[in-house]
């Protein structure tokens, strides 16, 4: 084994000690911090600044290992059981203490008590846990989430408020469903759904809102906002513009997303009757980044979400460290431990999120497809940050542009067919063609909603487009739909 073999992981999960200190508290804080986070290793016998292997006296190694194990078991509450092993590095013996992520959080030094003896790892260093971090660790220890927690004794909710939130989420889900047929299958929410998700709790015959319910409605948490800004250059020295969005978290998400779109470069392709806007960055990735911040942030943390636009990147900072035992490499592989389970249920239903853990891998894959630099993920000062890098020439190039041009070309060809085969190309035809291209298909019901017409009128317009050779009908009876030829 070499030093490189030992440090093959991220350094924040590893600490070197030249020797075993006489006072165990010197390294016991790190033991507690590892147990409260993603786990880690302490290696005795390696200088922490130079990585020089000095080794441990082999004759004393086993007694030292027993002493370390006893000290850890006796000093921490709840008890932490380490895995202590010997390793040979550069022909010298070192002691490796492996601390697994704990499930009975918070862990703390018994002598100092929970308030003063709880520690966490932040950017490779061990530090005392702030009060809001301690509270979150307590939620983790009993497998509870802040958003599903009963808001306050004086909080109340009316039947109208419950119905209003159910309707609001249903309408949002339908509007953001990409598949017309799937939109028809979206079920309407009931009070029972909100109970099962953790938006409501029942006490006797009465219902009370949880934090998730309040965040989605009358959000009054001062930290539950999104701060947006545009900076000149690549740092935060000079503001060009800034905004702060409050209110319910869905309104904030939409507002922050539109803010970024207004402040990045956009070009247009004009083909026939249609103009297609082409943004320099993939808009689905921008929305996913902000969505992840809203749904996975710590609402106990006193800071707001920050969305910053620089000359070279779009940066989204989400308050709160990675949740549970997650590591950066886990997120890239699609592993997810939801911090706010109620919000995850709601965002998935509303078609804001797809599947748990799929967001970051999809962003990375999308950027690779478009020739963008791989997004940067990092933990910084107790928060999670993702950077989406812009093209240096401020234009969108590569496969994305080709796909957009193919798309607009397909629409142009469709409109040409209408011109040749119908007496008059009207706005209704244009709307249906554009909708079918964007969504992949269109149903009779969607035409009714799109054009605000009755069933018979919708069928007549669809028949015109079928006869013109623009659309083709698929399926039978109620399951039928129309696609561009």
Name which residue leads in pLDDT, 78 or 184: 78
Name which residue leads in pLDDT, 30 or 470: 30
Name which residue leads in pLDDT, 401 or 19: 19
Residues of the chain with CATH 1.10.10.10: 399-484
Per-residue pLDDT band at 406 (split at 50, 70, 90): very low
Report the C-alpha gap between 367 and 289 in whole angstroms. Answer: 13
Burial of 67 (0-12, 13-18, 19+ CB in 10 A): middle
200, 213 Cβ separation under 8 angstroms: yes
Residues of the chain with CATH 3.30.950.30: 3-141
Q: Say whether the peptide bond before residue 106 is cis (omega within 30 degrees of 0).
A: yes
Report the C-alpha gap between 440 and 183 in whole angstroms. Answer: 13
Helix, coil or strand: residue 387: strand
Q: Does pLDDT of 363 surpass 60?
A: yes
Name which residue leads in pLDDT, 436 or 44: 44
Q: Quickly name the fold that domain 399-484 has.
A: Arc Repressor Mutant, subunit A (1.10.10)
pTM of the model: 0.77
56, 65 Cβ separation under 8 angstroms: no
Residues of the chain with CATH 3.30.565.60: 226-389
Instruction: Average the pLDDT over 259-274 and give the result.
Output: 76
The strand pair at 40-44 and 14-17 is best described as parallel
Q: Does pLDDT of 167 surpass 90?
A: yes
- Give the contacts of 277 (CB within 8 A, at least 6 positions apart): 266, 267, 268
- Give the contacts of 264 (CB within 8 A, at least 6 positions apart): 279, 280, 281, 309, 314, 390
- Give the contacts of 121 (CB within 8 A, at least 6 positions apart): 12, 13, 30, 33, 34, 36, 37, 38, 40, 127
**pLDDT at residue 137, as a whole number:** 96
Half-sphere exposure of 78 (CA within 13 A, CB side): 12
Closest CA to 212 of 204, 203, 222, 201: 201
Helix, coil or strand: residue 388: strand
Write out pLDDT tens, residues 16-48.
999 999 899 989 999 999 999 999 999 999 988
Which architecture characterizes domain 3-141 according to CATH?
Answer: 2-Layer Sandwich (3.30)
DSSP 281: S
Per-residue pLDDT band at 448 (split at 50, 70, 90): confident
Closest CA to 289 of 364, 179, 380: 364
Report the C-alpha gap between 324 and 314 in whole angstroms. Answer: 27
Q: Does pLDDT of 121 surpass 80?
A: yes
Structure tokens that stand for 191 in this block: 């009070």
Residue with tokens 């969607």: 446
The strand pair at 76-77 and 383-389 is best described as unpaired
Instruction: Average the pLDDT over 361-380 and give the result.
Output: 93
Instruction: Average the pLDDT over 94-98 and give the result.
Output: 95
**pLDDT at residue 400, as a whole number:** 44
Instruction: Average the pLDDT over 8-21 and give the result.
Output: 80
Q: Quickly name the fold that domain 226-389 has.
A: Heat Shock Protein 90 (3.30.565)
Instruction: Average the pLDDT over 378-382 and give the result.
Output: 89
Report the C-alpha gap between 99 and 104 in whole angstroms. Answer: 14
Write out pLDDT tens, residues 275-323.
567 899 999 999 999 999 999 999 999 999 999 999 999 999 999 999 9
Per-residue pLDDT band at 422 (split at 50, 70, 90): very low
């Amino acid at each position: 084994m070499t030093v490189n073999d030992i440090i093959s992981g991220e350094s924040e999960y590893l600490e070197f000690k030249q020797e075993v200190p006489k006072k165990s508290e010197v390294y016991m804080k790190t033991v507690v911090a590892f147990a409260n986070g993603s786990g880690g290793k302490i290696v005795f016998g390696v200088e922490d600044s130079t990585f020089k292997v000095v080794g441990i006296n082999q004759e004393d190694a086993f007694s030292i290992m027993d002493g370390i194990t006893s000290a850890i078991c006796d000093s921490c509450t709840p008890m932490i059981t380490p895995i202590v092993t010997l390793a040979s590095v550069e022909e010298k013996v070192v002691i490796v203490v492996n601390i697994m992520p704990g499930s009975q959080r918070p862990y703390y030094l018994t002598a100092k008590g929970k308030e003063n003896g709880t520690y966490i790892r932040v950017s490779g260093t061990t530090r005392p846990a702030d009060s809001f971090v301690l509270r979150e660790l307590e939620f983790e220890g009993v497998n509870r989430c802040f958003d599903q927690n009963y808001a306050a004794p004086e909080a109340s909710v009316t039947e109208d408020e419950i119905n209003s939130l159910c309707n609001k989420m249903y309408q949002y889900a339908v509007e953001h469903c990409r598949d017309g047929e799937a939109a028809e299958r979206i079920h309407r929410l009931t009070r029972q759904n909100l109970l099962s998700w953790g938006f409501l709790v029942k006490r006797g015959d009465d219902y009370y809102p949880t934090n998730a319910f309040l965040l989605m409605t009358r959000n009054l948490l001062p930290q539950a906002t999104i701060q947006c800004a545009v900076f000149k250059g690549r740092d935060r020295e000079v503001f060009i513009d800034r905004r702060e969005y409050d209110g319910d978290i869905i309104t904030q998400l939409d507002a922050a997303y539109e803010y970024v779109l207004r402040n990045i470069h956009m070009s247009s392709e004009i083909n026939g009757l249609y103009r297609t806007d082409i943004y320099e960055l993939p808009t689905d990735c921008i929305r996913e980044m902000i969505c992840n911040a809203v749904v996975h942030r710590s609402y106990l943390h006193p800071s707001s979400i920050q969305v910053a636009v620089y000359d070279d990147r779009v940066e989204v900072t989400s308050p709160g460290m990675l949740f549970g035992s997650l590591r950066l490499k886990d997120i890239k592989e699609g592993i997810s431990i939801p911090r706010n389970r109620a919000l995850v249920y709601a965002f998935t239903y509303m078609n804001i999120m797809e599947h748990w853990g799929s967001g970051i891998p999809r962003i990375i894959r999308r950027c690779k497809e478009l020739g963008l630099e791989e997004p940067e993920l990092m933990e910084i000062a107790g928060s999670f940050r993702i950077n989406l890098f812009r093209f240096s020439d401020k234009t969108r190039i590569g496969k994305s542009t080709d796909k957009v041009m193919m798309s607009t070309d397909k629409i142009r060809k469709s409109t040409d067919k209408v011109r040749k085969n119908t007496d008059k190309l009207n706005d209704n035809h244009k709307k249906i063609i554009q909708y079918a291209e964007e969504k992949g298909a269109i149903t009779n019901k969607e035409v009714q909603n799109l054009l605000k017409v009755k069933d018979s009128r919708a069928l007549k317009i669809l028949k015109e487009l079928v006869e013109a050779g623009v659309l083709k009908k698929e399926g039978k009876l109620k399951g039928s739909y129309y696609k561009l030829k």
